[in-house]
Chains A and B, each alone.
Chain A
Amino acid sequence: MTDKPLLRVRGLTKHFPVRQGLRATGLVRAVDGLDFDVRPGETLGLVGESGCGKTTTGRMLVRLLEPTSGSIEFDGRDITHAGRRELRPLRQELQIIFQDPYASLNPRHTVGRIVAMPLQVNGIKPPGGIKARVQELLELVGLNPEHYNRYPHEFSGGQRQRIGIARALALRPKLIVADEPVSALDVSIQAQVVNLLRDLQRELGLAFVFIAHDLAVVRHFCQRVAVMYLGRIVEIGDRADIYERPQHPYTRALLSAIPDVTQLGPAGRIRLTGDVPTPLDPPSGCRFRTRCWKAQDICATEEPALIPRDGGRQATACHFPEGEGAGTSPEGEAAGTSPEPVAAGSVAEATVSGVEPAGRGAEANVEEVSS
């Protein structure tokens, strides 16, 4: 693996204007200044809750959306505002897999035609003919090549997602953006598709930007992970760093909120109050401060920068990062410090009546906009 990034993103921003009639009345700051790199063959997970901007980011990367500002460099070329014609050769190397295997396949086309489409559009004539290449691709993703002439409705959800993957692989891309590729599937099928993507990634040396809300799935697929909150990356690092030594309070809270099969009963989780504030009017300073138990005055006035720590592989945007690389696990540390590991009994009080100043701030934010 070389150190030269395949994908280099700097200050990537997308603002959507909100209109009432003809007047623009506000801006949804969906993505607000992202910096990250993806090296060849590397898998980067973009995780976060709904509204954090992960899907918007994915769509900008494959240029389905036009960035408001910032830059995207792919393989050394600046593609931020590349036009249609410039994009065409690029699309061969940069593909996307969508979340909904039902909506992303044309129901009137046969599977063969769907998978062949990228080849035809790009005028590519594979050595053995298009049909042979398509059948090879179907086999690669674990579908029966003889089902070439069937229609999408004849396949189950998991199989349809495999068709979408075959289509993305048709042009031998270098990077695939996968937007929640398994979240619409049943659990037993999710594992099949995750394993398939992993095998393909290893065999073909593909780089991935894997967008997901499920941190457990991301852990099984990605080498690096970027955690997003309200349009910004709050923490980025290698998998082991993010999952074993999270430094941003939000990463910790997110990890501890996931119900894990290996833990029965209400474990000592970190409780966040309130909801994510609206991106129409994000909080000043650190955007997480309205739900953060560590927030101080400085958090409201000064936005923390994404600063690398521990030799530069893990970066955190927080004024008060967690136990500086001390290797503390959320469970272990939760016993003593601030987040008040709520015991089973008092849990509900903390959440329900616990509309503390922080929570109220978030709440007020939502209300202001909605009324």
Chain B
Amino acid sequence: MDSSEPLPSGEPDDRPAVPAQRSDQDAYLRVRDLRVRFDTEDGVVRAVDGVSFAVERGRTLGIVGESGSGKSVTSLAILGLHDPKRTTITGEISVGGRQVVGLPDEEVRRLRGRDMAMIFQDPLSALHPYYTVGRQIAEAYRVHHPKANRREARQRAVDMLDRVGIPQPARRFDQYPHEFSGGMRQRAMIAMSLVNDPALLIADEPTTALDVTVQAQILDLLADLQAEFHSAIILITHDLGVVGQVADDVLVMYGGRAVERGSVEQVLRAPQHPYTWGLLSSVPSLHGDADADLVPIPGNPPSLINLPSGCAFHPRCRYADRAGSRSRTEVPELRPAGADGHLVACHLRAEERATFYAEDIASVGVAR
């Protein structure tokens, strides 16, 4: 891969308030102050509003949020898949040292598939029903290897099908997507996205459409392939259980902003943001008291056209009053909280959060 291009700007001194992550400098993917806006008839949708993170090779970042939190929009921006006519993207996205924002379509296309690839939630709609699975994988290979002939591409595709655990790969090569089961289709999608050895893999709810026993297989496969190819992975999901199982770092998004960021131990074991607390205590668990009520987050996820002022979570936060009027007037910045590298965007003071967490959450919620 050609990364000899000069880095566009990026003086480390005039950065926004977001502190550097430990790995920020040498990370394969760096996103800084990303903003994505759509102009619609109903108004401007700020789908992503100032999000920063970084992913090193060999590590997995889990992005967690509910519908409309901006998690999928973020990943599409990284891949350069938004329609430039209707979308305004600002900020910095650097993939292997190349700035993606503002790059001509042609060059983004060259990066996409070769340096970064995506696994979608629904393999049936991501695979073309009219072509055989193998042909689609081989084509993905030839796009980035124009010198490869048909036989080489076929061999490469068969190898990949074999690698992702599809039995009789040579026979499966000539079958159509509808002849594959759901789990097999997701494996084929993974084979297709990995055919060019991308250094960055974005998986958007890759197991949501699958049954739990198949989900376990696919998560194992991803972890295994990551160990082999040393790729950086972004896993987008609403399932905190999945995050706990495969992620190294976690980014929690709400209303287009990052509300908490840290290692998986920090975010799931010592969560700092009331929204993260809410997510954790509303998820039913296989352990603890089955008769205890779940603790839901009141209200609904916000509309991105009409985001609540100040902290977007304040209308649903049971502690909003403790922070006074600031929660309604001031957007909280992502600031260091507790342990090294753990960041939270909340107006509450650290001691207050510790007290609330210990008294209200840890006793009934997460520790259930």
Q: A-side interface residues toward B, CB under 8 Å? A: 49-50, 156, 158-159, 186-192, 194-195, 198, 213-217, 219-220, 239, 243, 253-255, 257-267, 269, 271-273, 275-276, 347-349, 351-353, 355, 359-360, 363, 366-367, 370-371
Contact = CB atoms under 8 A, between A and B. Distances in A.
A351 B245 CA distance: 16
- The listed residue with most A CB atoms (<10 A of its CB), out of B245, B264, B265, is B245
- The listed residue with most B CB atoms (<10 A of its CB), out of A190, A261, A355, is A261
A198 B295 CA distance: 13
Contact of A351 (B167, B217, B293): B217
A257 B66 contact: no
A259 B241 contact: yes
Nearest to A259: B241
Contact of A187 (B164, B181, B227, B238): B238
B211 A259 contact: no
Contacts of A259: 215-216, 219, 239, 241-242, 244-245
B179 A261 contact: no
A237 B301 CA distance: 37
B211 A276 contact: yes
- The listed residue with most B CB atoms (<10 A of its CB), out of A263, A353, A371, is A263
B297 interface: yes
Nearest to A371: B179
Contacts of B224: 347-349, 352
Contacts of A219: 284, 286, 290
Contacts of B216: 257, 259, 269, 271-272
Nearest to B292: A220
Interface in B235-287: 238-242, 244-246, 264-265, 268-269, 278-280, 282-287
Contact of B280 (A213, A261, A352): A261
Contacts of A347: 220, 223-224
6 contacts: A158-B300, A187-B282, A189-B300, A258-B286, A352-B164, A363-B167
B329 interface: no
Given A189-B300, A194-B294, A275-B182, A266 B241 contact: no
Given A260-B287, A370-B180, 17 more contacts: A187-B283, A188-B301, A189-B296, A198-B293, A215-B212, A243-B286, A253-B213, A257-B213, A259-B216, A260-B241, A262-B287, A264-B245, A266-B245, A273-B217, A353-B165, A355-B167, A360-B167
B366 interface: yes
Main secondary structure of the interface of A (DSSP, over half): helix
A198 B284 CA distance: 13
Contact of A239 (B175, B240, B287, B290): B290
Contact of B214 (A159, A275, A371): A275
A260 B264 CA distance: 13
B211 A50 contact: yes
B306 to A, nearest CB: 14
Contacts of B366: 261-262
A215 B293 CA distance: 16
Interface in B143-198: 163-165, 167-168, 175, 178-184
